Amino acid sequence: MSQPILLTVDDDPAVSRSVARDLRRRYGKDYRVIRADSGADALDALREIKLRGDAVAAILADYRMPQMDGISFLEQAMDLFPHARRALLTAYADTDAAIQAINVVDVDHYLLKPWDPPEEKLYPVVDSLVETWRELGDRAVGDIKVVGHRWSSPSYQVRDFLARNSVPYRWYSVDDAEACRLLEAAGATAADIPVLITADGTVLRQPDGAQIADAVGLSTRPAQEFYDLVVIGGGPAGLGAAVYGASEGLRTVLVERKATGGQAGQSSRIENYLGFPDGVSGAQLTDRARRQAQKFGAEVLTARDVVGLEARGSARVITFGDGSEIAAHSVVLASGVAYRALEADGVAELTGRGVFYGSAATEAPECHGEHVYIVGGANSAGQAAVFFSKHASAVTILIRGESLEASMSHYLIEQIAAIGNIRVRTGTTVLKAHGAEHLEALTLCENGVTETVETGHLFIFIGAAPRTDWLGDGLLRDAHGFVRTGPDLLAEGRRPPGWPLDRDPHYLESSIPGVFVAGDVRAQSVKRVASAVGEGAMAVTLVHRYLEEQ
C-alpha cells in the first residue's frame, strides 16, 4: 500500500515550499507530502488521488488565496476525503475568520503564519491531525453493511450505535436494488431489517447493541473479575475518572451501556471548554478521552447494562443485565442523565422515525432543504441548531420561556442571532406530532394560539432525568433521583442511616462507603463538561484516600 498523503495548498510559492519542507523533514518517512499552488490545482490532485485509491491523512490550506479561498477549498475537499483532517493556514489579522471557519467546515486546527519554530508551532498540530486520522481515518467503509429503512426506528438505532462508537459502515436503503441483492445473499428478507453484515459475512437480523458490539470488535467482556476501580458511565465524568484512575496505577474498567461520550458526545461543537479556543466536537473530545484512558491501561466495555450495585464486605459488586458480575475495591458512579420524554400525542410512536432525542447527527444529510424543529433552550439545543442550520433550509427553536438568556451560554445566543435561517419561538410548546410511517407535521401552541406546521424532523433537548432507577434503595437520592453525596448526606449533622464508618462521607462519596459519584448524576452538581471532568478526577483522589483507610 502506498504511503498516506499530507497535502498543502498555498498560492505563495515561498510559503508553499517552506511548509512542504518542514513536513517532509518530520513526516517524510511515513507520509507522502504533496503541495499545490491553488485550490483548483489541489482539487485536481485530490481527484487523481481518489481514483488511485490512495488515502489523504491531512490537508493544510492557506486562508487567503485568489479565485478560491481556503474555506471554499476545504468544503469541496471534504466531499472527496471526508475523513482527512483539516487545518487552515492564516495570518494573525485573519484569526477571527479562521475561528468562524471552524463552524463552516469543521476545521480541526488553524495555524498562524509564520510557524517558526516548527517543533513548537507546526509539528504538535500535525501530530494531532495524523493521530486522529489514524484512529478515525480512511478505514474501508464497505466492510460493515447495514440494510434498513429510513423511517424504521430499529434501523436508526443501529446506525446511531455504529456512528457514536466511530465504527464505519455502508448504509443501504431496503428499497435499493443493491440492498435486495444483499438480503438475498444473506438469506434474509425485508421483514428482517435492520440487517447488519460484517466483513467476514456474518449476518445479524434486528441486532441489539451487545450483538453489534461483539460483531464489530468492540470490547464487551471484562478481562478480570476484580478491579481496584469500576467506573459506571462513559460521559465526561466517567472518562475523566478512567483517565486519572488508570494513569495513577489503579486497575480500572469503565462500563458504558451504549457509547462513550454521553450527552456531551452528541454535541456538534463545544466552544467553551478550556484549552480548545477553536472549539471541539463532542465526538472528538470524548474519542480522545477514551483513547487516552485506554493508553493508560483502562478497559472500556461497551453495550453493557448495569442493573445492580451492592456492598459485599469490602467489595463493591456490579451486576450486569445478563446476570454476570464484576467486583472492585471502589466504584465511581458517573451514569449521567437522559433527556426527559416530551409529553405530547404521537411523539412516542414516531421516535426514531422523524422524532429524535439529542442531536442524531446521522440524520443531518436527510435534513437537506428541510425545515427542522428543535425543542429546548440549553446549550445542547443551541449547538444542534447551529449544526443543523448548515444542512436544513430553516431551523426553529421552540422554548417555553420568554428568552434563551436564562438557560443558554451568551456565545451561543450570539451565534444563533447571526445565522439567518435560525428562528427562536418563545412561549411555544408541542401539542402533537402527526404522521403515519414517519413525522409529517407538528401542532404547536404559542402563547395560547395553536398552529400546525409541516416538518419531517423534530429534535428534543429537554431537561435531565438521572439514570438511577436501577439503584433501588441502595444509595440515597433526592426527590428528583439525583444521588446525594458528602455534606448533602448529613442531616442536621447526623450521618446517613446505616453508615458503618467512624468518619463522615467524603465530599463525592455516596451513602455506601467506597462508592463515589461524579458528574450530572450527582445531586447539586454543575451541569457543565468541565465540571464533570473535574469531578471525575476529584473522585479518583478520594478513591485513593478511601483505599488508604482500608
Domain annotation for the chain: domains and CATH numbers: 5-136 (3.40.50.2300), 145-209 (3.40.30.10), 226-338+465-549 (3.50.50.60), 347-460 (3.50.50.60)
Among residues 40, 91, 33, 76, the alpha carbon closest in space to that of 58 is found at 33
Q: CA dihedral in degrees (83, 241, 337, 209; nearest 10)?
A: 50
CA distance linking residue 524 with residue 479, whole number of Å: 12
Q: What pTM did the predictor assign? A: 0.76
Name the H helices within 106-208.
Answer: 118-121, 123-136, 153-164, 177-186
- The shares of helix, strand and coil residues in the chain, as percent rounded to the nearest 5, are 35, 25, 40
Note the pLDDT tens digit of each residue in 19-61.
Answer: 999 999 999 999 999 999 998 999 989 988 887 778 899 999 9
Burial of 180 (0-12, 13-18, 19+ CB in 10 A): middle
Q: Measured at the alpha carbon of residue 376, what is the angle toward residues 374 and 381, in degrees to the nearest 5?
A: 70
Which phi and psi angles does 330 have, rounded to 5°?
-150, 165
In terms of DSSP bridges, do strands 145-148 and 170-173 run parallel, antiparallel, or are they unpaired? parallel
Beta bridge partner(s), residue 432: 345, 443
H or E segment and range at residue 446: strand 441-446
Q: Which residue has the cell 458528602?
A: 486
Angle, in degrees to the nearest 10, between helices 123-136 and 282-295: 90
Note the pLDDT tens digit of each residue in 306-346.
Answer: 999 999 999 999 999 999 999 999 999 999 998 889 999 99
> What integer pLDDT is reported at residue 104 of this predicted model?
55
> What integer pLDDT is reported at residue 227 of this predicted model?
98
CB neighbour list of residue 296: distance below 8 Å, 6 or more residues apart: 243, 246, 247
Residue type, 442: L
Peptide bond into 222 cis (omega under 30): no
Q: Which of 218-222, 337-341, 428-432 is modeled with the greatest confidence?
A: 428-432
> What integer pLDDT is reported at residue 141 of this predicted model?
43
pLDDT exceeds cutoff 80 at 207 = yes
Q: Measured at the alpha carbon of residue 265, what is the angle toward residues 260 and 271, in degrees to the nearest 5?
A: 145
Among residues 74, 76, 68, 104, the alpha carbon closest in space to that of 88 is found at 74
CA distance linking residue 340 with residue 331, whole number of Å: 26
CB neighbour list of residue 80: distance below 8 Å, 6 or more residues apart: 43, 46, 47, 50
pLDDT exceeds cutoff 50 at 113 = yes
> What integer pLDDT is reported at residue 440 of this predicted model?
97
Note the pLDDT tens digit of each residue in 234-264.
Answer: 999 999 999 999 999 999 999 999 989 888 8
- 8 Å CB contact between 464 and 340: yes
CA distance linking residue 517 with residue 498, whole number of Å: 18
> What integer pLDDT is reported at residue 36 of this predicted model?
92
Burial of 545 (0-12, 13-18, 19+ CB in 10 A): exposed
Which phi and psi angles does 155 have, rounded to 5°?
-65, -45
pLDDT exceeds cutoff 70 at 130 = yes
Note the pLDDT tens digit of each residue in 159-194.
Answer: 989 888 878 788 899 988 888 988 998 899 999 999
Note the pLDDT tens digit of each residue in 53-65.
Answer: 788 999 999 888 8
> What integer pLDDT is reported at residue 140 of this predicted model?
42
pLDDT exceeds cutoff 80 at 463 = no
Among residues 529, 533, 520, 99, the alpha carbon closest in space to that of 273 is found at 529
Peptide bond into 194 cis (omega under 30): yes
> What integer pLDDT is reported at residue 98 of this predicted model?
61
DSSP 492: T
Q: Measured at the alpha carbon of residue 95, what is the angle toward residues 92 and 98, in degrees to the nearest 5?
A: 135
CA distance linking residue 152 with residue 150, whole number of Å: 6
> What integer pLDDT is reported at residue 67 of this predicted model?
81
Angle, in degrees to the nearest 10, between helices 13-27 and 123-136: 60
Note the pLDDT tens digit of each residue in 258-311.
Answer: 989 888 877 777 888 888 777 777 877 888 899 899 999 999 999 999 999 999
In terms of DSSP bridges, do strands 226-232 and 325-333 run parallel, antiparallel, or are they unpaired? parallel
Q: What cell numbers appear for 298 in the block?
A: 483502562
Note the pLDDT tens digit of each residue in 77-99.
Answer: 887 888 889 888 887 666 666 66
Residue type, 219: S
Q: How many residues does the chain have?
A: 550
- 8 Å CB contact between 238 and 254: yes
CA distance linking residue 266 with residue 282, whole number of Å: 6
pLDDT exceeds cutoff 70 at 137 = no
CA distance linking residue 480 with residue 1, whole number of Å: 56
Strands (E), 124-251: 145-148, 170-173, 195-197, 203-205, 226-232
Per-residue confidence at 200, pLDDT binned at 50, 70, 90? confident
- 8 Å CB contact between 247 and 537: no
pLDDT exceeds cutoff 60 at 538 = yes
pLDDT exceeds cutoff 90 at 452 = yes
Percentage of the chain surpassing pLDDT 70?
96
Note the pLDDT tens digit of each residue in 405-429.
Answer: 988 999 999 999 999 999 999 999 9
Q: Which residue has the cell 486497575?
A: 251
User: Please, what is the average pLDDT of the chain?
Assistant: 90
CA distance linking residue 315 with residue 330, whole number of Å: 7
Q: Which of 83-92, 361-370, 452-461 is modeled with the greatest confidence?
A: 452-461
